[in-house]
Chains A and B, each alone.
Chain A
Amino acid sequence: MIALCDIISNEKMTEEYNIYSMIIDAPLIAKIAKPGQFVHVKCGGLTLRRPISIASAKNGQIKICYDVRGEGTKWLSGLKSGGKIDINGPIGKGFDVSDTSKKVLLAGGGIGIYPLYSVAEAYGENAFAVLGFRTKDIITFEKEFKECGSKLYIATDDGSYGRKGFAIDTVKEILDNNKIDIIMTCGPKIMMKGIALEAQKRNIRCQVSMEERMACGIGACLACVCKIKDANVGDGVLDVPFTNKRVCIDGPVFDIFDGSGVDWEW
C-alpha cells in the first residue's frame, strides 16, 4: 500500500559515515510487515523509488536505516522530523520466522544487517548473529542486536574492532561448535555466496536476501531479476534449471535451501 507518512525522526548513526536511521509513523504498514520485507521510498522528484529494508516494525512505527550512496539516499538524509515521506510497502517475501524455537544463524554485511535485525528480534536468544563491517567507525546496531538477546559476533575487515577478517570465518567457527537449524544472510553477493556454499557443505537450510536494481518494485517491469532454482523446503535443491525471479516480489528473500540455488555469476 502507498502511504504518505509522518517522519518521527531521521538521524545520522555514525560520526564518520553517512548512515541514517529514520523512524516513520506507519501504523498499517507496521502492523503487517514481516522481517526481510522492504518499503519502496519516493525520493523527491526522482523517477524511481528506492528500496530500503524495514529494520524494525512495532507500535505503529517502522524504522529504516540507509547508507547515503547517491541522489536518492542523499535526498532522504535531508528529511526532518515532522515532515512527510511517501512509501509503498511492505513489499516482498521475508525471512522465515514461523518457528522461532529453532536455532538461527544470522550473517549480515554492511547495510545487509538491517533486515536481519527484525529477525533477531523475533528469534531472541535462539539467534547467533555475525555482523561484518569494513571498519570500526562504520559499525551500527551493536547494542540493538545485543538487546534482542542474540549471541553477537562482530568482524571487521581491517581488524579495528571485534574479530579481524570476514564474517564467513566466524560463521564457520559457530557452525563447527553449535547445532544450527537455519542460516539467514543479507549482504554483499560475495559474502552471501560463501555462506550459502558453506550451508550446502553442512546440509543446513539457507535463506538469502538478494539485491538488484529495481524500477517498479511491484513485479511489473522485470528489472530486478536474479536466477534462482525453485526448491521446496525439505526437498533440497532440485535438479532443475535456474529461472528468472523478481527480487521485488518473488524475493528479496529466497529460500534457496543451499548455495546451489542461486546463479551467483548472473
Chain B
Amino acid sequence: MVDKLDKSNLDLSVEIAGVKLKNPVVTASGTCGFGREFLPYYSLAAIGAITTKGVCLNPKEGNKTPRVAETPAGMLNAIGLQNPGVNYFVENELPNIKKYDTKIIVNIFGETVEEYCQVAEILSETDIDMLELNISCPNIKCGGISFGTEPKMAEEITSSVKKRSKKPVVVKLSPNVTDITEIAKAVENGGADCISMINTLIGMRIDIKTKRPVLKNNTGGLSGAAIKPVAVRMIWQVRNAGIKLPIIGMGGITNGDDAVELMLAGANAVAVGTAAFNDPKTVLKVIDGISDYMFENNIKSVSEITGAVKAWE
C-alpha cells in the first residue's frame, strides 16, 4: 500500500524534448496572443509554457471579417494568421514574456520551406525554448496544398527546419488527413523533437437567410469542446502506431478531466485554446483539475497518466 499523497507533493512537472515544464498545461497558439492580454487574469508563471500566436517573416494582415462564428459546442475561425512578423515579435513581445518564469514556445509558419527556415534561424538566436511548426498552411510552391496533409512535404519541412534551428522543434499536426499516423511517422522521420496535435478541423457555416457563408473566408477551423473526441482518437492512434515522440495534446480542453483524457490517450502535456475565450482563467482550472485527479487516484507524477488508457482488446 502506498501512503496517501499530500496535494502539495504532487509532481506536475514534465520534460519535453529536454525542456522542463513546471506543469503540463500550456496555452494553444493563436488563442492567447503573446500573453499580454491574459495578465489581468493570471501570471504566465503559473503555466508550463506559453505558445505564442503564429509568426512568419513579414507582418500579415489576415482575412476579412467576420472571422469567427459560434458552432455547437465550438467555434469556427478564419483569422488568416494575422501577425506582426517575427522581428517585431523578437523586439517588442519577447522581452515582455521573458519577465515571467515560464517556458516559451513560438509557433511559426510560412508560405515556403525557406520562409519557415528563415524564421527558425532568427528565433534560434533568441532566448526562447522551442519552436512549433504550424504545418497546416498552404505551400504556395505546391499549388497551395497544406504542408501537413502530404507525408513527403511534412517530412521535408521538418527536416529542413531541423537543420537550421538551434531550438527543439515541435511539429503541429493537421487533423484534416485520412491517416494521421502517416503524417506523424513522416515528421518523426524528419527529425521532429515533439508532436503537437490537433490543429483545427476545417468546417463551414451558411446563413440560410442570406445563403452566404457566415465567415468571409467561406471556410474556417473548428475548435472547442466539439473536437475533443477527435483529438483523443488521433493521439491514441499515433501512440498505437508506435511513435515515441512526446506529444502536446490539444483540442477542446475545458477542464482537468478533459486534459486527463488526452493524456491517457498518450499526450505528455496539454494545451488549452478556445475555452480561454469564455473563461480566461481556464488554464488554472485545468491545472487544479489535473492535481485533483492525481490526488484522488494516488498518482504521484503526472507523467504516469500519459498513455495509461486500457484499451479494449
Contacts and interface: CB of A to CB of B under 8 A. Distances in A.
Interface of A: 1-2, 42, 45-49, 71-72, 88, 212-226, 244, 249, 266
Contacts of A221: 30-31, 33, 68, 77, 79, 277
Given A46-B70, A222-B82, A266 B64 contact: yes
A219 B35 CA distance: 10
B203 interface: no
A213 B32 CA distance: 18
A76 to B, nearest CB: 14
Given A47-B73, A48-B277, A220-B32, A215 B38 contact: no
A42 B282 CA distance: 14
Nearest to A219: B37
B68 A214 contact: yes
Given A49-B277, A216-B31, A222 B67 contact: yes
A88 B281 CA distance: 12
A47 B274 contact: yes
A223 B37 contact: no
Nearest to B60: A244
Interface in B149-163: none
Interface of A is mostly: loop
Given A46-B278, A49-B278, 9 more contacts: A2-B41, A2-B281, A46-B70, A72-B70, A212-B66, A218-B37, A219-B33, A225-B65, A225-B82
Contacts of B38: 218, 220
B69 A213 contact: yes
A224 B75 contact: no
A210 B225 CA distance: 30
B75 A266 contact: no
23 contacts: A2-B279, A2-B281, A46-B70, A47-B73, A48-B70, A48-B75, A48-B278, A49-B277, A88-B280, A213-B69, A215-B75, A215-B277, A218-B38, A219-B33, A219-B37, A220-B32, A220-B276, A221-B30, A222-B82, A223-B66, A223-B67, A225-B82, A244-B82
Given A212-B65, A214-B68, A266-B65, A220 B73 contact: no
Interface in B29-81: 30-33, 36-38, 40-41, 53, 61-62, 64-71, 73-75, 77, 79
B214 to A, nearest CB: 9
B291 to A, nearest CB: 22
Given A48-B75, A212-B65, A216-B31, A2 B280 contact: yes
B32 to A, nearest CB: 5
Contacts of A224: 65, 67
A72 B62 CA distance: 27
Contacts of B61: 244
B224 interface: yes
Going nearest first, the 3 A-B pairs with the smallest beta carbon separation are: A220-B33, A220-B37, A223-B68
B194 to A, nearest CB: 24
Contacts of A226: 65
A266 B61 CA distance: 12
Kindly state the interface size class of chain B when it binds its partner: 35 or more
A150 to B, nearest CB: 32
Contacts of A215: 68, 75, 77, 277
B250 to A, nearest CB: 15
Interface string B269-288: 00000101111110000000
A205 B32 CA distance: 35
Given A47-B224, A225-B62, A244-B62, A218 B280 contact: yes
Contacts of A47: 70-71, 73-75, 224-225, 274, 277-278
Contacts of A218: 37-38, 40, 280
Contact of B276 (A212, A216, A223, A225): A216
Contacts of A219: 33, 36-37
A88 B38 CA distance: 13
Nearest to A227: B61
Contacts of A212: 65-66
A1 B280 CA distance: 10
B61 to A, nearest CB: 6
B70 A216 contact: no
A222 B79 CA distance: 7
Interface in B1-38: 30-33, 36-38
Nearest to A1: B40
B21 to A, nearest CB: 21
Contacts of A213: 65-69
A244 B77 CA distance: 17
A219 B32 CA distance: 9
Contacts of B71: 47
A249 B280 CA distance: 15
B216 to A, nearest CB: 10
A161 B148 CA distance: 59
A45 B278 CA distance: 10
Contacts of B32: 220
